[in-house]
Structure 1
Amino acid sequence: MMDIRANKKPLHIIADGYGLSPGVDAAIRALLEQRKVRGTSCMTVFADWRDEAELLMPVIDACGGEVGLHLTLTSFMPLSGVKPMCSLRRRISQWLLGGVDKGKLQRELDAQLNAFVDAVGRVPDYIDGYQHVHFLPVVRDWLKARRELLISPRGKSPWLRGEPQQGLALGLPQRGKIAVVERMANGFNAEMREAGYEVRGPLVGFYEKRNPQRFRETLQFVLRNAPDDAVMMCRPGIVDPVLVARERRVATREVEFAELMRQ
C-alpha cells in the first residue's frame, strides 16, 4: 500500500483535471483521502466548479494535499467569452505563425484564476496546464505579470510544473510525444525561475493512451527511476455521462484510478 507521505523520494504524483466531471472529481477525492496522490490541479471553466470545490477542500484540509490551478485554453467554453476555445493544434499554430490575441487569452486566464480564488479562498499551491498550455509564451507572460498577485499571505508564490525529459520514457511513441512537449516547454524552467517562481520537475508519466494498461508499467517505471522532485501527472476518474460529453478518450481514467488505488 502506497502512502505518498511515506515515500522517501520526493515524487509529486498529481491528479490532473479536478472539475472535469463528477466521476473524475469523486475518484480524485478518494485518492487524496487514501494519500495515493499529493494533490490535484483544478479546471475552473465549468458551471459546477464551485460545488465541486466545496466537496474538495475538506479533503485537502484533512490530508494536507496541494490544490492547484489547471489553466485551460483549449477545447471547452471559456469563462470570459461566448465561443468555444480552439484545439491545441490551433494554439500551437498561433504560437508558431503569429496571430495570438494576447489580451483575450490573458483575460481568460484572469477569469480562471479569479474563479479558483473565489471558490477555494486562496491562491493555488501550484499551476500547470491542460494539454501543457502553461508552457506557451502567452501564459509565461501572464505568469510573470501576475506573480505579485499570486503570492500567498505567507509570502510564497505557487510552484510551477516544469519541463519533461525524453530520457524518462518507456519507448519511442512516448519519446515522440515528449519531444513535442519539450519544444513547447523549451526554456520554461529558466525563464520562470528568473521571474521568481519555484519550478518542480521533470514532468513524467507519459504513456500511450491508446493502450491504457501501459499505465501500470509507466507508474512502476516512474517510482523506480524518476529523479528527486519529479512531478508525475495522472488522469484518474470514474467514467460518467458528463465525462463522455466533455472528453474524447475516457478509457484510461478508470484504469489509472484502479492502479493508483492498489499501490
Structure 2
Amino acid sequence: MAVTVAIMIPSTLSSRLSLYGLVGVVAAAVHALVLLGLGLFMPLWLANPLAFLAASLGGYLGHARFTFRPETGGQSFARRWLVIQYVVNLTVSGVLPLALPNALGEPVRVAMLVFTPTALNALIWSKAARFSQRRRDCRVTPRRHADDLGLSPATNQAILELASQGRLDSSSLLVNGPVAADGFHAWQKLRQTHPQLQICMHLCLTEGPSSADPALLPDLVNSHGHLKRSFGQWLLLSLLPRRHPTRRRIEDQLGLELDAQIKRFRSFCGDAPIHLDGHQHIHLVPIVLRAALARAGSNSITWMRLTEEPLPTGLPLRYWRAAIRHSGLLKWLVLQLLSRRARPAIRRFGLTSNQSFAGVLFTGQMAGAPILAAWRELSSVEPQPGATPPLLLAHPGAPLKLDLVKAGFSVSQRFAASTWRQREWRALQDL
C-alpha cells in the first residue's frame, strides 16, 4: 500500500503540473493572438492590457475546468479570483521593473520579471482552488431569521405564518413597536407547537416612542417623544472623545433608554437569557455597543448578532449594480468594519455570536437570486467552535395598512410599505 501511495502522489503532481503548464501555454497564445489583432487598430499601451485580460480569462477558465478540476468539480472559480489575478499581475508588471535594482545584473532581473508573475499566478489559482474545495465540502444549515416582529400587523402576519410553516428559526421583537405585545403573545403561543423557535431583543434607538420617560431623554427624542437620532448620528457620536461633555450627557440618556427597553423585553420574556440585535443594526455602533456590553452581565445578555457577511458568488452583474445603486455595498462595508471591531469585545465579555451572516449587502431585497446565493454561501462556511450557526436575515411582510409615520416609525414607513416585503415573504417560503 505504501508503494502504491508513493507512486500515485508524483503521478498526480506530474499530471497537475502538466495541465498547469498546458493552460499557461494556451493563455500565452491567447495573449499573443489578441495583442496582434488589437495592435492593428489601437496603440500598444491599450492593446496589451486588453490582451492580458483575455489571457487571464483563458487561465481562469482553464485552471478551473482542468488543472484544479478535483477541487472545483469542473465549475468556474468565483469571479473575484479573476479580478484579483488581473489586478495583481498588472500591478506587478508595472512596478517590478522599476523596483528591481540594476546591481542585480540583467540575467537575474529578466529571471525575476519572468518567474515572479508565474509564481504569483500559481499562488492565486491554488488559493482559488482551495476556496472552491471549501465551498463544496463544508455544509452547515443557516438559521433563517426575520427582524421587526411587533412593527405592524402586516409584519407580524408574515413572520408568524413563516414560523408556523417551519420556514423561520427565529425573530427579533421590536419592544417599542406599535403591536409588540400582539406579536410576542402570538409567537409564544406558536412556541407551544414549535419549541425550537427563538426570539431576540431588537434594540431600537433611531425611531419609535422611547421606552424611558421622554422628559429624561432631551437629546434622544423629538417633541412627540419619538427617538430621533439616525444611525449616522450615533456613529458620529462614537467619534467624540469619551470625556466630551456632549458624549457623556448622551451616554447617560442612552443608558436610561437601554435599561427601559431591556425592562420591557423582560416584561414579555421573563428571566430567560437575552439574545440582542439592533434595529438598523444600531447595536454595532461603538457608543451603543459599549453601553450594551456594560449591561450584559447584570441583564443576562448572552448573545449578540454580528453582520460579517461573505460576498456571495455566482450572481449576475446586474445584482451588484443594484447593490451599489441602493447603497447596499456601502452599508456592507461600514457594518463589516463595525462587526470586526465588535467581535473581540463581545468575546471579552463572554458573549457568543453568529459565525457568519447575510442580509446587509442586498438589504430590503432578499429575494430571487440574492437570497439563494446568500443561502449557498452561508451553507458552505466552515463551522467555528464557540459560534452559533450562520444567520440569514430577511424582512418579510404582508401589504402594509398601518400608518407607521403616525406611530413614530417614519424611517421604516417606506421600507415596510415596499412590495419587496411580500417578495421576501415568498422567497422564505420557497427557500
Structure-2-length-normalised TM-score: 0.53
CA contact (8 A) 2:144 2:169 kept: yes
- Whether contact under 8 Å (1:136, 1:185) holds in the other structure is no
For residues 232 and 78 of structure 1, the distance between their equivalents in structure 2, rounded to whole angstroms, comes to 29
Distance, in Å, in 2 between the alignment partners of 1:209 and 1:147 is 28
Match of 1:232 in 2: 392
Q: Paired residue for 1:133, among 268, 278, 282?
A: 282
CA shift digits 1:216-246 (9 cap, x unpaired): 2121112211124211111011122226543
Deviations for 1:142-167, whole angstroms, at most 9, x for unmatched residues? 3322222333xxxxx53211132353
Counterpart residue number, 1:121: 270
Q: 1:167 aligns with which of 311, 315, 318?
A: 311
CA RMSD of aligned residues (A): 2.3
1:60 to 172, 181, 191: 191
CA distance in 2 between partners of 1:55 and 1:21 (Å):
13
Aligned to 1:154: none
User: Is 1:106 equivalent to 2:271 in the alignment?
Assistant: no
1:50 corresponds in structure 2 to: 181
* Cα offsets for 1:52-102 (capped at 9, x unmatched): 321121113421211000110102221114332222222222223464311
Give unmatched runs, 5+ long, in structure 1: 1-7, 152-156
Alpha carbons of 1:124 and 1:31: their partners in 2 closer, same or farther (altered >3 Å)?
farther
Q: Normalized per residue, which structure has more helix?
A: 2
Counterpart pick for 2:204 among 48, 72, 84: 72
Would you say how many aligned residue pairs link Structure 1 and Structure 2? 249
Cα displacement (A) at 1:168: 4.1
Distance of 1:116 and 1:34 partners within structure 2 = 25
Deviations 1:1-24 (A, max 9, x none): xxxxxxx62312110110110110
Structure 1 or 2: more strand by fraction: 1
Q: Would you say 1:21 and 2:175 are equivalent positions? A: no
Which deviates further from its counterpart, 46-55 or 248-257?
46-55
Q: Which has the larger radius of gyration?
A: 2
Please name the residue that 1:220 is paired with: 372
Counterpart for residue 259 of structure 1: 427
The secondary structure found in structure 1 opposite 2:402 is helix
Name the CA distance, whole Å, in 1 between partners of 2:331 and 2:370.
15
Name the CA shift for 1:107/1:61 in 2 (closer, same or farther; >3 Å): farther
Does residue 1:142 correspond to 2:291, yes or no? yes
